[in-house]
Chain A
Amino acid sequence: AQSVSQHNHHVILSEAASLELGCNYSYGGTVNLFWYVQYPGQHLQLLLKYFSGDPLVKGIKGFEAEFIKSKFSFNLRKPSVQWSDTAEYFCAVSSSGTYKYIFGTGTRLKVLA
């Protein structure tokens, strides 16, 4: 069965620090990969997605993610975080066959001003 792991449950950073959130999945076939963000009191918003092509994907708000197929990973990065990046971040994976999303458990990021 597919699964998605986000190893960092809580991350606290100071403003301007660099961010990397891990996401690993288990599935042997072709996958589509997503990162969503949920700001406090708001709904899930799509940050970026990977379907094919360049494994380095750029999203909104300065975020990027790199798909490393050999490591089954899709880590999220941002070179310099801002206080407004405080939110919960979810990695999701879907297989090309079912298109159902499997979500990771989420990472709560707190950025200190």
Chain B
Amino acid sequence: GAVVSQHPSWVICKSGTSVKIECRSLDFQATTMFWYRQFPKQSLMLMATSNEGSKATYEQGVEKDKFLINHASLTLSTLTVTSAHPEDSSFYICSARQWGALQETQYFGPGTRLLVL
């Protein structure tokens, strides 16, 4: 199957700093990537849809100025958590959408665990 990587796999930062997370599709091009957040023992919640060459689309309740998304190429999307606070601590997962035979499937990265002190 298609491979998606994320970097870093975990990060610890001080409150008020910004953190950038990268999501890469390694063996296919993805015009659309997605960013999710997963709280402990809960499901994945979609935060935003990242579109190559255009602005991201954010889900209701997600602050676009807080979570900056850039999709500058067909294989890379970045999520920057700006001025991070302890409540932003979470597991962030990206996915990349692949098209094939009129079907689309999302392939997921391994996730990035963020801890804000």
Q: Which of A46, A90, A100, A103 contacts B105, CB < 8 Å?
A: A46
**Chain B residues with CB below 8 A from A100, complex form:** 34, 46, 49
**Chain A positions 18 through 48: 1 when the CB is less than 8 Å from some CB of chain B, otherwise 0:** 0000000000000010101000001111100
Q: How far is the CA of A104 from the CA of B43 in the complex (A)?
A: 6
**Chain A residues with CB below 8 A from B92, complex form:** none
Q: B111, A43: Cβ atoms under 8 Å? A: yes
Chain A residues within CB distance 8 Å of chain B? 32, 34, 36, 42-46, 49, 51, 90, 94, 99-106
Q: A43, B109: Cβ atoms under 8 Å? A: yes
Query: Interface residues of B toward A: which range?
Result: 20 to 34
Interface of B is mostly: strand
**Chain B residues with CB below 8 A from A46, complex form:** 1, 105, 107
- A-B contact sample (8 more), CB < 8 A, given A46-B107, A99-B32, A100-B46: A43-B4, A44-B44, A44-B93, A46-B1, A49-B103, A100-B34, A100-B49, A101-B95
The verdict on B42 contacting chain A, using a C-beta distance below 8 Å, is yes
What is the minimal beta-carbon distance from B111 to any residue of chain A, in angstroms? 6
Q: A45, B43: Cβ atoms under 8 Å? A: no
The verdict on B106 contacting chain A, using a C-beta distance below 8 Å, is yes
| Chain A residue at minimal CB-CB distance from B57 | A100
Q: B104, A99: Cβ atoms under 8 Å? A: yes
What is the minimal beta-carbon distance from B32 to any residue of chain A, in angstroms? 8
* Most A C-beta atoms less than 10 A away, residue of B32, B42, B106, B108: B106
Q: How far is the CA of A36 from the CA of B108 in the complex (A)?
A: 10
**Chain B positions 93 through 117: 1 when the CB is less than 8 Å from some CB of chain A, otherwise 0:** 1010100001111111111000000
Q: How far is the CA of A36 from the CA of B36 in the complex (A)?
A: 15
**Chain A residues with CB below 8 A from B4, complex form:** 43
